[in-house]
Amino acid sequence: MTITIRTEQPADIDAIFELTRLAFLSAAHTSHTEQFIVNALRRSGHLALSLVAVEEQRLVGHVAFSPVTVSSGDTSWYGVGPLSVLPERQRQGIGSRLMQEGMAMLITGGARGCVLLGDPAYYSRLGFSPCKGLVLPGVPPEYFLCKSFGGALPEGEVAYAPAFGATV
């Protein structure tokens, strides 16, 4: 079956919400608010890039990218997440395709890099590694990962958009 990666459309919003809810339903390290975070990012204007994976007119994956701030003043850095794939379609490369396409689009738009909070074993395959010099307060450094798109890695504290505190 063929999977198409494209930007979200207004008609996708409800399906993205449900897809994200299902993707994190049984996840070990989650607040179960990821679907609310995506909606809050969209409402606040901080959803810089939202891609969906579509198979036979059904959404099977989604990834969100939003700008982050770095205390040093460095700009053009983005946070990845949530990354969601339907449970029955996980471990089939859909998340990797979404990530690769999203990062390529960010690079084309002038982004300098991405950060994320996640499993080092998974995200290292996509070129992410622990961030030397970048800190996400309250998070173990081995789970706060980054990928520079070519420039020097900034230093300082990273802050995600306030939408990451959404609970409904």
Nearest to 64, CA basis, from 168, 165, 167, 163: 163
Per-residue pLDDT of the chain (168 residues; tens, 9 = 90+): 699 999 999 999 999 999 999 999 988 777 889 999 999 999 999 999 999 999 999 999 999 999 999 999 999 999 999 999 999 999 999 999 999 999 999 999 999 999 999 999 999 999 999 988 999 999 999 999 999 999 889 999 999 999 999 998
Please give the DSSP secondary-structure letter assigned to residue 162.
G
The CATH number, out of the four listed (3.90.550.10, 1.20.1090.10, 3.40.50.11240, 3.40.630.30), of the domain defined by the range 3-165: 3.40.630.30
CB atoms within 10 A of CB 161: 20
Max Cα distance, the chain (Å)? 46
Please state, in angstroms and rounded to a whole number, the distance separating the CA atoms of residues 27 and 32: 9
